């Protein structure tokens, strides 16, 4: 059973675009349906973690809005960070889904019980993944992953009404 969805941010939860105005203010585009997928997972008892290699105040704001359980915003070693999160929560690798899009996500994708690449991921990321989304990062990929997890949970409990 999946207990943790861990996500890369830029290119996975967003479309990878970073907008910076003349004053240095950063803007990112987040998908509302991805947010609903995260909310549905949380209601089902699945924890959600954001693991970003780059700090962004926009990421912090979105994570607060979605009440995301764990936000690591600017880490140099995503795999080490993911392992530390799992150790703290007593979660085993097979209970983890990790979704990403770029080469710094490959180690986490391989380590997790289920590694996912978004549709617009680099080809080497797709090769490392157990599953590739139909949707691109920032365009419903996270909702797609959430629905896979929820569907697997329902099937594991014998539910077919979803």
- For domain 4-156, give the CATH superfamily: HAD superfamily/HAD-like (3.40.50.1000)
Query: Mean pLDDT across the stretch 128-154?
Result: 97
pLDDT at 154: 85
108: which 2 tokens? 């986490």
Q: Greatest CA separation found in the chain?
A: 55
Q: What is the mean pLDDT of the chain?
A: 95
Domain definitions of the chain by residue range: 4-156
Give the pLDDT of residue 32.
97
| CA atoms in the 13 A half-sphere facing the CB of 55 | 1
Nearest-5° Cα angle at 101, 155 to 53:
110
Q: What's residue 160's pLDDT? A: 45
Share of the chain above pLDDT 90, in %: 94
* ∠ Cα 23 34 154 (to 5°): 160
Asked whether residue 159 carries a pLDDT value surpassing 50, the answer given is: no
Among residues 63, 83, 67, the alpha carbon closest in space to that of 75 is found at: 83
Contacts of 84 (CB under 8 A, 6+ apart): none
**147, 5, 135, 31 alpha-carbon torsion, rounded to 10°:** 90
Range 3-17 average pLDDT? 97
- Higher-confidence residue of 162 and 79: namely 79
């Amino acid at each position: 059973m999946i207990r943790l969805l861990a996500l890369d941010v830029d290119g996975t939860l967003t479309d990878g675009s970073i907008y910076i105005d003349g004053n240095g203010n950063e803007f990112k585009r987040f998908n509302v349906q991805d947010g609903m997928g995260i909310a549905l997972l949380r209601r089902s008892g699945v924890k959600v973690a954001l693991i970003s290699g780059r700090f962004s105040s926009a990421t912090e704001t979105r994570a607060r809005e979605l009440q995301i359980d764990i936000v690591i915003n600017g880490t140099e070693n995503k795999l080490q960070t993911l392992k530390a999160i799992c150790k703290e929560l007593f979660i085993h690798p097979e209970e983890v889904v990790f979704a990403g899009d770029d080469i710094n996500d490959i180690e986490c994708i391989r380590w997790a019980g289920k590694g996912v690449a978004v549709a617009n991921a680099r080809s080497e990321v797709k090769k490392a993944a157990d599953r590739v989304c139909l949707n691109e990062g920032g365009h419903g990929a996270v909702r797609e992953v959430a629905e896979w997890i929820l569907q697997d949970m329902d099937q594991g409990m014998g539910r077919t009404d979803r």
